[in-house]
C-alpha cells in the first residue's frame, strides 16, 4: 500500500514538472518569436493539427484559430458528416481569408448555411460541393451575389441544381474557369447557353449524365469558351457529330475529352478531332459503337500526344486500329479494348512491337475479347513497364500463359477469371430429384 502511494505521489510530481517545463518553454517561444512568425509557422499545418494546437493553451488557441491559417479547408478526410452550424462557424472564423473549401460528401449542408458562407467568405476561389445533395439554386445565387472571385465550383450530384444556378453563376462569377455539374439532370441547354455567355474563361466543363444537353448547348459553349481544355460529355446521348465539330473547330487546346455513351457519334467526330485538336492526351469513347478503324486511323496520324484511350465497346474496330495506334501514338500509357470482340492476337502483336510498348504502356484492358489467346501474352513480354492487364472472360487465355507472362514481368497485376469446370453428366438414365444449386424439386 505504501509503495503504491509513493508511486502515485512520484507520478503526480513528474506530471507537475512536465507541465512547468512545458509552460516555461511555451512562454519562451511566445516571447522570443513575434506573432507574425508564429502565424507563419501555424499556416503550414493542416486542419487536424490546427485543432490540436488550439487545445494546448490560450495563446496557441488564438494563433491556431486565426483566420489567416484557414485559407484552405478540406473536411472530407476530417469530418464528413458536418452540419450547418460547423460551416457557419468556419465562415465567421475565416471570413475573407478563405480561398478554398471542400465539403465533398457533406450531405447535411443546406442552402441556409451556404448563404452565410457566401456573405462572409467573399474571396473564395475554389468550392467543392460534390454530393451535397441538399444544395439548390439559392446557394449559387448567393455565390453570384457575393463571390466574384470564384474560379472553381464542383456541383457534381447536386440533384436540386437547375438552369437558374448556371444563370446566376454567369451573372456574378465571370472569373469561373472550372465547373462540374455531373449528374445534375435538370440542367438543359438554356442553362449552359447562359453560362457560356457570362463565363468566357471556362477551361473545364464536366457534365456527365446531363441527359438533356444537346448540340445547341455544346455549340454555344464552344463558340463563347474557346479556352476549353477539359470536356466530359459522358452519357449525353443527344449529342451528335455537329457538337463535336464545333468543339474541335473552336477549342484547339482540348487535351481531355470524354464522349463515352454518346452513341450517335460516327467517324466524322474522330476525323475532325484529328484535324483540329492535336493536343489531345486523353480520349474516352466507350460505347461509341459506330466508330471504325477509319476514324482511329485519322486520329493516330495527327494526335501523337495521346496517352490514355478508352475504346471499350467500340465493337467495329479491328487489329488495324491497334496497328495505327501503336505506330502513331508513342506516348500511349493506358488502353482499354474491353468488349472489342474483333481484336485478335495479331493486333496485340502490333501493339507489343510498337514504340509505345517498351517504354510507356502501363495498363491494358482486354476483358471480353474472345479471340485473344496466350500468344497475345507472349507478345507483351517486351512491355517492361506494363503494370496491369485485365483478362476477364477471355476464354482462350490459360493459367499457363499467365504464368509465362509473370515470369517475364514479375510485378505485373493480372486480373482474370476462369469459370469452374462443368461437372460430368450423371451416370444412369434417371433424373436427379433435387437441383444441387437451389434444392428445388
Prediction pTM value? 0.85
CA distances from 284 to 75, 306, 321, 360, 419 (A): 31, 11, 15, 18, 30
Under 8 Å between Cβ of 290 and 267: yes
Cα–Cα distance measured from residue 335 to residue 64, given in angstroms and rounded to the nearest whole number:
47
Cα atoms in the 13 Å half-sphere on the side-chain side of 298 = 16
Taken in order 209, 213, 219, 225, is the CA torsion positive or negative? Answer: negative
Cα–Cα distance measured from residue 321 to residue 282, given in angstroms and rounded to the nearest whole number:
17
DSSP secondary structure string, 219-281?
HHHHHH-TT--EEE-TT-TT--HHHHHHHHHH-TT--EEE-TT-TT--HHHHHHHHHH-TT--
Please identify which residue in the block is written with the cell numbers 482486354: 366
Under 8 Å between Cβ of 250 and 222: yes
Measuring CA to CA, which residue among 348, 439, 333 is closest to residue 396? 348
For the beta carbon of residue 14, count every other beta carbon within 10 angstroms: 10
**Domain parsing of the chain, residue ranges:** 1-13+25-69
**Checking phi first, is residue 153 left (phi over 0); if not, alpha (psi -120 to 50) or beta?**
beta
DSSP secondary structure string, 151-180?
-EEE-TT-TT--HHHHHHHHHH-TT--EEE
CA distances from 239 to 247, 273, 349 (A): 12, 15, 35
**Checking phi first, is residue 118 left (phi over 0); if not, alpha (psi -120 to 50) or beta?**
alpha
pLDDT mean for each 10 residues of the chain (441 residues): 52 50 51 71 74 74 72 72 86 92 91 97 97 96 98 97 98 98 97 98 98 98 98 98 98 98 98 98 98 98 97 98 95 98 97 89 97 97 95 95 96 85 56 41 29
135's grid cell? 444544395
Bridge pairing between strands 126-128 and 100-102: parallel
Amino acid at each position: 500500500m505504501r509503495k503504491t502511494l509513493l508511486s502515485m505521489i512520484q507520478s503526480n510530481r513528474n506530471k507537475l514538472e512536465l507541465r512547468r517545463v512545458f509552460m516555461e518553454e511555451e512562454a519562451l517561444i511566445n516571447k522570443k518569436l513575434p506573432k507574425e512568425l508564429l502565424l507563419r509557422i501555424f499556416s503550414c499545418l493542416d486542419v487536424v493539427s490546427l485543432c490540436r494546437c488550439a487545445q494546448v493553451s490560450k495563446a496557441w488557441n488564438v494563433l491556431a484559430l486565426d483566420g489567416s491559417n484557414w485559407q484552405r479547408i478540406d473536411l472530407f478526410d476530417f469530418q464528413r458528416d458536418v452540419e450547418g452550424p460547423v460551416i457557419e462557424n468556419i465562415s465567421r472564423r475565416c471570413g475573407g481569408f478563405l480561398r478554398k473549401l471542400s465539403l465533398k460528401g457533406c450531405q447535411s449542408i443546406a442552402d441556409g448555411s451556404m448563404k452565410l458562407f457566401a456573405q462572409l467568405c467573399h474571396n473564395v476561389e475554389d468550392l467543392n460541393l460534390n454530393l451535397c445533395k441538399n444544395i439548390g439554386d439559392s446557394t449559387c445565387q448567393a455565390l453570384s451575389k457575393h463571390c466574384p472571385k470564384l474560379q472553381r465550383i464542383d456541383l457534381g450530384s447536386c440533384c436540386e441544381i437547375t438552369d437558374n444556378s448556371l444563370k446566376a453563376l454567369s451573372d456574378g462569377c465571370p472569373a469561373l474557369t472550372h465547373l462540374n455539374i455531373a449528374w445534375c439532370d435538370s440542367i438543359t441547354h438554356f442553362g449552359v447557353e447562359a453560362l457560356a455567355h457570362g463565363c468566357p474563361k471556362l477551361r473545364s466543363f464536366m457534365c456527365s449524365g446531363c441527359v438533356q444537353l444537346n448540340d445547341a448547348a455544346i455549340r454555344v459553349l464552344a463558340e463563347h469558351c474557346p479556352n476549353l481544355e477539359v470536356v466530359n460529355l459522358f452519357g449525353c446521348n443527344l449529342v451528335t457529330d455537329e457538337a463535336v465539330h464545333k468543339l474541335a473547330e473552336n477549342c484547339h487546346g482540348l487535351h481531355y475529352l470524354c464522349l463515352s455513351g454518346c452513341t450517335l457519334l460516327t467517324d466524322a467526330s474522330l476525323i475532325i478531332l484529328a484535324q483540329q485538336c492535336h493536343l489531345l492526351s486523353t480520349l474516352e469513347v466507350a460505347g461509341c459503337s459506330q466508330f471504325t478503324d477509319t476514324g482511329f486511323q485519322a486520329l493516330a496520324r495527327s494526335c501523337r500526344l495521346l496517352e490514355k484511350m478508352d475504346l471499350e465497346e467500340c465493337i467495329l474496330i479491328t487489329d488495324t486500329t491497334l496497328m495505327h495506334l501503336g505506330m502513331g501514338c508513342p506516348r500511349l500509357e493506358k488502353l482499354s479494348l474491353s468488349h472489342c470482340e474483333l481484336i485478335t492476337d495479331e493486333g496485340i502483336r502490333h501493339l507489343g512491337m510498337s514504340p509505345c510498348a517498351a517504354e510507356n504502356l502501363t495498363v491494358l484492358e482486354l476483358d471480353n475479347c474472345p479471340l485473344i489467346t496466350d500468344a497475345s501474352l507472349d507478345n507483351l513480354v517486351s512491355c517492361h513497364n506494363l503494370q496491369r492487364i485485365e483478362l476477364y472472360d477471355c476464354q482462350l487465355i490459360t493459367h499457363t500463359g499467365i504464368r509465362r507472362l509473370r515470369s517475364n514481368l514479375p510485378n505485373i497485376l493480372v486480373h482474370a477469371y476462369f469459370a469452374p469446370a462443368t461437372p460430368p453428366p450423371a451416370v444412369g438414365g434417371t433424373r436427379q430429384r433435387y437441383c444441387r444449386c437451389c434444392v428445388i424439386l
